[in-house]
Structure 1
């Protein structure tokens, strides 16, 4: 375990190495939790379209970009460059800001729908939980990416 952690601090993994090194091990959980936010919000009746439109944009954007980022890393397109390490930190930092703002907007919408349809309320609560879980995963990934970038 120490060898893979030490390796990830000086180089960028490729191939199946993204499934065994930190912070790249967070790609799949980020995709799962982000996809759950997307699915839950899309399955609900969109009453106030503006905040939920932002939540949908964030969840779809981050899902697609994380998937593409994971494919690029798995294919080894980065060639272990420090520029890619910096871009990894910047992307995940941006995803944290996006998901945090989307989670707050979704929590606000959830509070407004408290007295209405119980099933919709439960869907929104689940989406809020998954949005903040995705925010946390992206935050950890961003911190570990910053540490890896620093060691380049």
Structure 2
């Protein structure tokens, strides 16, 4: 008989298991979309009353923390303590909230720039950043829900 490699929802994976189990399979897409938001916002022109500093903080913070979180899980650091399921749920909930606020701020700025910059590439870059910010929000939200389910079963 073939052995299954999937883990039950109540256990925390380590090693390559983070690439095959829910919600941990969302780490790479979160990094990709968060990195795209970071790159796109960094490539636009910042006007003085612009809240893009918050968007940059959120995208860089979540990118670095998600990368570290993924490395911790891959290395098996979470095996030494029982609070990792709670911390996983708390971090992804906070990241979803941060990205939602950053996406709303970025959408507001983009709407405000539309009359003066709709013909420029900066406007199109801002639109792409808004889309990726909301996709990152969705990924972090789904990850938080699946982490909550795993935490409940832990």
- TM-score (normalizing by structure 1): 0.94
**Aligned twin of 1:111:** 111
Q: Give the whole-Å Cα distance in 2 for the aligned partners of 1:133 and 1:124.
A: 14
- Distance in 1 separating the partners of 2:89 and 2:48: 33
5 Å matches for 1:1-152?
A: 4=6, 7-48=7-48, 50-79=50-79, 81-117=81-117, 118-152=120-154
Cα separation, partners in 2 of 1:47 and 1:145, compared to 1, 3 Å: same
Between stretches 109-118 and 75-84, larger displacement belongs to 75-84
- TM (norm. structure 2) is 0.92
SS in 2 for 1:10: coil
- CA distance in 2 between counterparts of 1:121 and 1:78 reads 43
Q: Distance in 1 between matches of 2:116 and 2:17?
A: 47
Would the aligned equivalents of 1:8 and 1:22 in 2 still touch at CA under 8 Å? Answer: no
Give the root-mean-square deviation of aligned CA atoms. 1.4
1:42-70 deviation per Cα after TM superposition (whole angstroms, max 9, x unaligned): 00011145510000000000000000000
- Native 8 Å contact 2:50 2:109 kept in 1: no
Moved over 3 A (4+): none
For residues 132 and 79 of structure 1, the distance between their equivalents in structure 2, rounded to whole angstroms, comes to 32
Aligned residues: 149
Q: Would you tell me which structure has more helix in proportion to its own residues?
A: 1
- Looking at structure 1, the residues matched to 26 and 144 of structure 2 have their Cα atoms a distance apart, in angstroms, of 10
1:3: how far off?
Answer: 6.2
- Higher CA-based Rg: 2
C-alpha contact (below 8 Å) 2:40/2:126 kept by paired residues? yes
